[in-house]
Amino acid sequence: MSERELGRSGLRVSPLAFGGNVFGWSADEATTHALLDECVALGLNLVDTADVYSAWVDGNQGGESETLIGRWLQKSGKRERVVIATKVAKWPQRRGLSPANIQAACEDSLRRLRTDVIDLYQAHEDDPSVPLEDTLGAFSRLIEQGKVRAIGASNYIAPRLAEALDVAKRHHLPRYETLQPEYNLVDRAGYEAALEPLVREHGLGVIGYYSLASGFLSGKYRTEADAAKSSARGAQVVKQYLNARGKRVLAALDDAACRHAATVAQIALAWLIARPGVTAPIVSATSITQLRELAAARTLLLTKSDIAALDGASAG
């Protein structure tokens, strides 16, 4: 499948992105490097991470994902074959979007990533305590310094994203070229109601996270007993999604998977890839086999009736 542009940034990426949140957590260094090598072999060129990954793991401090990616970039010599996206604002050591913090966090990320430039630098969350003009001005200086190519926003609500786009235009500052929202077949309303019309109006790229709803859309959780497959997280997924609507969605995914000789996860990703305005849903994997399965979704073309059935099952 052909590459897509991230907003108007000039950066072109595969219609599926790889999430580096597993690096330094459920994927050790050897596994991380093997997965990144396979991403390049498969043509998955957008690697998304953040400075805070994976600070939630006992013994970690944050920055582990970027560090492992940086070691791979240095070892593999494949820097020109990947688009590196990282984020600032959520890590307690570099919290917020003040100009000083953005500059310092970027320098830290560049050092860990062992690269001279971050292709896509994203505000991991909004920071209402800082004027948008100041935040965008800080990002502008990083672009002028050649340390960042384009900027994006993650977890912004529609009014604040619209305001940021307006501020950028009025003050002749770089605009957010991408949005990273939570978006999948069972989490639709938060994105589609207000954010989708906005990003389509302004031509932003969308690289959504939780593309498989924490594994629910892979068909992993079909009964309450399946919660045990993933410790505490499994119980949360079952409680959140295993209801009448969730079961309808799984049934529709099963039907489409049977028609296309595909897996349930591939169908769920193909639906996202086909969604107008979506550039590259983010997926994560901890094995080469899993990565190859997910990557195959890029060439899976759903019919109009497939999409209508999935839309109907997930409505409401």
Picking from 74, 21, 11, the residue whose alpha carbon sits closest to that of residue 51 is 21
Q: What is the CA radius of gyration of the chain?
A: 19
30: helix, strand or coil? helix
Active site residue 53: yes
DSSP 244-298: HHHHHHHHHHHHHHHHHT--HHHHHHHHHHHSTT----EE--SSHHHHHHHHGGG
Q: Which of 53, 156, 221, 241 is catalytic?
A: 53
Cα–Cα distance for residue pair 151/167, rounded to 1 Å: 14
Cα–Cα distance for residue pair 61/104, rounded to 1 Å: 17
- Which residue has 């913090």 as its token pair? 101
Those residues with Cβ within 8 angstroms of residue 100's Cβ, 6 or more apart along the chain or in another chain: none
By DSSP bridging, strand 4-5 and strand 12-13 are antiparallel
| Cβ–Cβ < 8 Å for 106, 63 | no
Active site residues: 53
